[in-house]
Structure formats: C-alpha cells, structure tokens
Copies of this chain bind each other. A is one copy, B any other.
C-alpha cells in the first residue's frame, strides 16, 4: 500500500463529522487516525471556517439575535465575514447548564467520538465542573473540544500583535499555523491597534476556541492608565468580545488588595501583565479589585453566551526564587472561591497556574489547585523549571509542562523560544506548539490514558522495520523528520534501505535483532525456551549457514 497522510472525517452519528489525520501505512496495517486540530488550511481567509454548530444551537433554541454593541470597522474586516448581529441566550445556554439538565449536547457527542469516550461520561464531567467545553454560541465554526484531566491533555498557543510590531494578517496566519501543528485553543493577546478587528478575523477562521485577556483591550480604552479603569469599561469590553465569539476570558479576579504587599519582597514581584495592572489599580484606589467585588455580574452576563472563565493567576511566580510562595497560593485559594460562585451560574471555569517552578515543587501546585478549586480544570503556563536558558524556554518549560500534565493539569499553555526576549514569529510558534504537543502526549502516556500509546507503538514498529515513509508520516512533524533524514541520506533508495546513516549498513542493531528473531522463528523455538532446548547444535548450524 502507498503510505500517505490524509485529512478526513469519521462519522460520529447524527451528522457529526470528526476531523482526523489518517495515516495509511505501507505494510497494510489498519490506518492510524490521529486527533486533528487543523481545521481548514490554505483556503481564502475571507471565506472563514465552515459553520459546524449553528444547527445544534438552533435546535436547542432559547437564543435571540441582537444588534451588536460594536461591529468591526469597514475596510478592516472583509464584508463576507462582517456580522452586525450576535446571538444571546434568553437564559443560560452553557454546556454546564445542559449537563446539569441531563442533556447530552451535540457538542458532547462530538467530543465523545473525538476522544473515544462515552458521551454520558463527557456530560458527567462537565456537570461535575471537572471538565469544560469552551464554545461561545457566537463561534459556530468551532470543532468542539474538551479541557479536563480525564481527557487528552490539551495545549494552548498564544498569538497577538503588540504595540511594537505585527499586523492582522500575520495574526490570522499564526492562528492557522498554530492549529496546523496541534494547538487545541488559541489565545489572542493582542494589545496594539485594530485589536477588535484582529480578533474577529481570527475567530471567523478558527476551528478552535479563542481565549482572550479582556483587560488588555480595556486598557486601550483608558490610554494605558490602570488607575482609570472602571468596571463599566471592563464590562463593555466583555460584551463586545462575547458578541464576537470569544470562548474563554482570562480574568484576574483573585488578585486581592491584601495579597499585593506580599509580593514586594519577591525577586521578580508581579510578572503577570493582568496581575500588575489590577494590583496598581487596587493600590491607587485602595479598594478591593472590582473584578472580585463584581464577579457575579460577569457570571450573569457570560452564562448567556456560554463563555468560560479562565481565572487568571496574576500573582504567579516569575522566577524559581518566587515559586510556591504565600501570595501565589493565597490567590489560588481565592480562585477556588470564585470557581464555586461561577458554578452557581452554570458558568464553566478553569484555573490558570504558573509559571516558574522547580521540578520538586510542581506537584504541590496540582494538589492544592484540586483541593482549593474543587477539581476544576487546571491550565498552566509551562512551568519553566529553570531561569538560566532564555532562548530555550520552550524546553525549560516543556519539562515542567509534561510533569504538571502527568500530575493532572488539563491544558498546557505553550512557551516559545522567544519567551522573555521578543515576539514569536512563525517558526517560534511552531517550535512552541511542537514542544507542547510532546509534553502533552508524554503526560497522557504517563497517565496511561486509554489508547494513547498506540501512536508510539505504530511509529516504533515502523522504525524497527525500516518503514521510513511510515515513520515520517506518523511523526508529530513529518516535514522536519523527512528533512533531517534526507540531510544525511538524500536519495529515495535510502528510504527503503534496511539501515540508516547513524550506524551505516554493517553495524545496524535493528537488522541484527531481526536476524535473531528470524532465526528463532525459523527454528520454531519459543523465545523463552530458546536457551533451554540445547541450542548448541543449532548454533553450529547457524554459524555455518551465514556463509551461504
């Protein structure tokens, strides 16, 4: 059979079509279907991504269309994607709400087929708050996915322009690029010009949920002066983004006034942008964080769109020196308090976590998060396990990410090689995504998640049997695997060779093992008996036969 890779769909019943990357193997084994996040690639971005969910949303009903509070500016947004109205639930339209009613939504069925789990189990995890399905009703292009520790570990890629550089097109392209390599969600952290339109272009083309930190846009509205922020400006921003289709908001509601002075003695103080902005606001006004005091008003709004909270960790440590300290865990406890409030409103919640943590202090983060936040999904940034390697923080943090994933973190926010140094370009985004796919898969293996090891086994068999094309096609990044192989042995002949460039033809250990195995089979000796049955004679035979 011709080895190849194909993007296709499997039938999930009820008209549900699950995207997969199907790898056809040269030895005729059953093709392997891999989880696929890539959506549509290579099409005109003015067309947007296909609508997956509208029929499901309409079928459930309970929503009404309304004029948007803000629509994208003409010129900056193609007419084909420019929407003047948005949907809003008359009451709760969250997946948690449906789960609590005992309803298995189409989104849950989609996820069940995608994750090879039972749909009722998906529902029960969402009901319990142990998993979330981020999908604003205004983002019907989403191919539903779930974030929870009893499912595959997910990764998030951050994109976003800044005051210093980059454009709308760049950001849409980065989103596509990130999903091509496996990003399960994308956060748009833009802070510069055209923030509204950039986000809308991204959402209209995205097959994955888009998260934001609404505070960044709110800050634009007060000319970058934290003290001038108000809850009304913030809420207006939330609604604007709700209408666009953002699926989760990072909200730094747990940075309390009394925690701020605890950070003054840190080596690196407050490193979260959102955390520092709210800290400055609190100190300037000597008032409690309005995101905390008016948290219920946000819950009340978000339940009408099905937007999830990603409760920010504004006081996360910014260095190994500050790991697992008092302000960090004080904030985490407040995140837990807020989690339970959001649940009162059927609003889905995950909790953000650090940051910079040495390996021996990682597990405590997960243990405390599960305890304080009643097992709501944990979503961590790395953590970086050392500070000494700027330029390689995708690696310092992939180590921590793999471990924290194993311990039970549901989603890992990627870190690129540019972390602490500059803005990631296209190559950096790919490096970050791949490092985090590695971490997430390593975590799933360590958790012994059902079916996960099949992928490793398929590639190991291909490797052992010198099925080079299969090995490339099964790789997380087939392009790079093929390129690296071809640097040393470029000819097509080398791709069917029973050896590789590392050892050359003479010393190939895999070939020798195959000889051993063939020999055992030929002589009909069960492996465990091979020695016992007196192989002296056979050995002599074998020695003689090798000249033939």
Residues of A that sit less than 8 Å from B by CB: 162-165, 191-192, 216, 219, 224-227, 257-258, 260-265, 267-273, 275-277, 279-280, 283-286, 318-321, 358-360, 385-392, 394-396, 398-399, 402-403, 406, 417-418, 420-423, 425, 434-435, 437-439, 441-443, 445-448, 453, 455-457, 459-461, 463-464, 471-472, 474-477, 480-481, 483-489, 500-510, 512-517, 519-520, 525, 527-531, 535-536, 538-540, 542-543, 546
Number of copies of this kind of chain in the complex: 2
Query: In the complex, A457 Cα to B475 Cα: how many Å?
Result: 38
Chain B: minimal CB distance from A430 (Å): 11
Chain B hits for A487, CB < 8 A: 418, 422, 425
Q: Which of A227, A279, A406, A512 has the largest count of B CB atoms less than 10 A from its CB?
A: A512
| Interface pair B386/A441, CB less than 8 Å apart | yes
Chain B: minimal CB distance from A504 (Å): 3
8 residue pairs, one from A and one from B, having the closest CB atoms: A163-B504, A269-B513, A286-B539, A319-B460, A422-B488, A261-B530, A276-B509, A359-B446
Can you report 5 A-B residue pairs in the complex whose CB atoms are below 8 A from each other? A164-B488, A279-B516, A280-B515, A421-B488, A422-B484
Query: In the complex, A271 Cα to B481 Cα: how many Å?
Result: 19
The binding surface of chain A is classed by DSSP as helix
| Interface pair A435/B263, CB less than 8 Å apart | no
Chain B: minimal CB distance from A276 (Å): 4
Closest to A259 in B: B531
Q: Which of A284, A391, A530 has the largest count of B CB atoms less than 10 A from its CB?
A: A391
| Interface pair A457/B321, CB less than 8 Å apart | yes
| Interface pair B442/A399, CB less than 8 Å apart | yes
| Interface pair A527/B421, CB less than 8 Å apart | no
Chain B: minimal CB distance from A480 (Å): 4
Query: In the complex, A261 Cα to B280 Cα: how many Å?
Result: 68
| Interface pair A504/B191, CB less than 8 Å apart | yes
Query: In the complex, A508 Cα to B224 Cα: how many Å?
Result: 10
| Interface pair A481/B391, CB less than 8 Å apart | yes
Contact A286-B535, Cβ < 8 Å, known A163-B505, A387-B460, A460-B321: yes
| Interface pair A399/B519, CB less than 8 Å apart | no
Chain B hits for A417, CB < 8 A: 484
Chain B hits for A461, CB < 8 A: 267-268
Chain B hits for A319, CB < 8 A: 456-457, 460, 463-464
